[in-house]
Structure 1
Amino acid sequence: MSQLTATPAIESSLAYLMQNYADYNHWANCTLINWLKTKPSEVVEREALSSFPTIRETLIHIVETQRYWLSVINPDADYSGQEFDGDLDETFSFVMAQSQELAEYVETLLPGDLSEETLVVNPWFECNFPKFEYIMQCMNHSTYHRGQIVTMGRNLGFTDAPMTDYNFYNVMAK
């Protein structure tokens, strides 16, 4: 069998990668939340220098940004701006549920859907990229802020952060 025949089409590979990355994002968010649930809530809510004053506010930023990007790739998604302002336990639940919703939606996208260009016009930028680019942006953004949360946790005295690297997920956690 030739290498060309054994290699899946680019479109199928792209669909696999986007689905796997969305599943990874859900797993990583849940792993981080489950770790944070073991910590005293008063410490998790304490201010720590970062982009956002607290871990909870950073989690809200993650979930609201994921909701925004879901509304970009899914025309049926309902999002009109930041609306969530729950307590810590509600924030934990919402991040996990929304990450699952995002992963489940990405699972429904066909290769042609992923390549479909979608115009985004907002106060900060305008672009017209394929949906897979927006999915990658969303997942990368969440990864960035999960890293900040680990650093904030370290500054608050948490020394046992979980491993949430993409390769760890692929090798050990799937």
Structure 2
Amino acid sequence: MEHTATIAQATETSIVYLTKNYIRYNAWANTTLVNWLRTKEESVLEQEVPSSFPSVRKTLFHILQAQQYWLSIIRRDETPNINWEESKTLEEVFSAIVAQSEEFVAFLDSMSAEQIDEKTMVVSPWFQSDFANFEYIMHVVNHGTYHRGQITTIGRNLGFTDAPMTDYNFFNIHGK
């Protein structure tokens, strides 16, 4: 019985570590991507190309919206009403995604192991789920990784050949 408790304790610690490290990775990757994008012409970043979100700016805005949504769910806040896409400059979107990513890190740093493992019921017009908070956090980071890849591909289509490395292993070796 004692051996089982030790395994459960180690697993919980591993999940907490991974969850917090993964959200730090997300903030680092978003900041790295934004810093790279800041070196590009704004007019090019607004250019539309065939993709699920037609421009770099619109894809970044989608990542921001998703992160805000999921953080509000985990905090059990009201879901934010985000409808300012057209009124924000590209630089404001850059700053907002970096700040929001850091806000997510700070919130997770304040969570206990029990809170990270606690289930949260989500009822929306699109789905219903009742998962542990760490599952939602993994989703947020995977979602961001997917769309950062899209931004890199959009950039490639716009002629950018110098995209930064933003994968998780690179972060663990060089980004911390």
Runs of 4 or more, structure 1, over 4 Å off, are none
Q: Is the 8 A contact 1:113 1:131 kept in 2?
A: yes
Equivalent position amino acid for 2:70 in 1: W
Partner of 1:118: 120
Equivalent position amino acid for 1:113 in 2: Q
Partner of 2:104: 102
Alignment of 1:1-174 (within 5 A): 9-76=10-77, 78-85=78-85, 86-174=88-176
Q: Distance in 1 between matches of 2:59 and 2:42?
A: 15
Post-superposition Cα deviations, 1:87-117, rounded to whole Å, max 9, x if no partner, equal: 1010000010001001111111111111111
| Cα distance, 1:161 vs structure 2 | 0.2
The structure carrying a bigger helix percent of its residues is 2
Q: Distance in 2 between matches of 1:152 and 1:90?
A: 20
Post-superposition Cα deviations, 1:3-25, rounded to whole Å, max 9, x if no partner, equal: x97x9621111111111000000
| SS in structure 2 of the partner of residue 167 of structure 1 | helix
Post-superposition Cα deviations, 1:53-93, rounded to whole Å, max 9, x if no partner, equal: 111000000000000000111124x5333233211010000
TM-score, structure 1 as length reference: 0.93
Equivalent position amino acid for 1:17 in 2: L
Q: Which runs of 5+ in 1 are unaligned?
A: none
Choose 8-17 or 93-102, whichever is displaced more: 8-17
| Cα distance, 1:122 vs structure 2 | 0.4
Equivalent position amino acid for 2:106 in 1: E
Q: Is the 8 A contact 1:63 1:95 kept in 2?
A: yes
| Cα distance, 1:160 vs structure 2 | 0.2
Give the superposed CA RMSD. 1.9
| SS in structure 1 of the partner of residue 47 of structure 2 | coil
Q: Give identity over the alignment, percent.
A: 52
Q: Is the 8 A contact 1:15 1:109 kept in 2?
A: no
Equivalent position amino acid for 1:132 in 2: F
Q: Distance in 2 between matches of 1:100 and 1:82?
A: 18
Q: Which runs of 5+ in 2 are unaligned?
A: none
Equivalent position amino acid for 1:79 in 2: T
Q: Distance in 2 between matches of 1:141 and 1:81?
A: 20
| Cα distance, 1:48 vs structure 2 | 1.4
Q: Is the 8 A contact 1:26 1:96 kept in 2?
A: yes
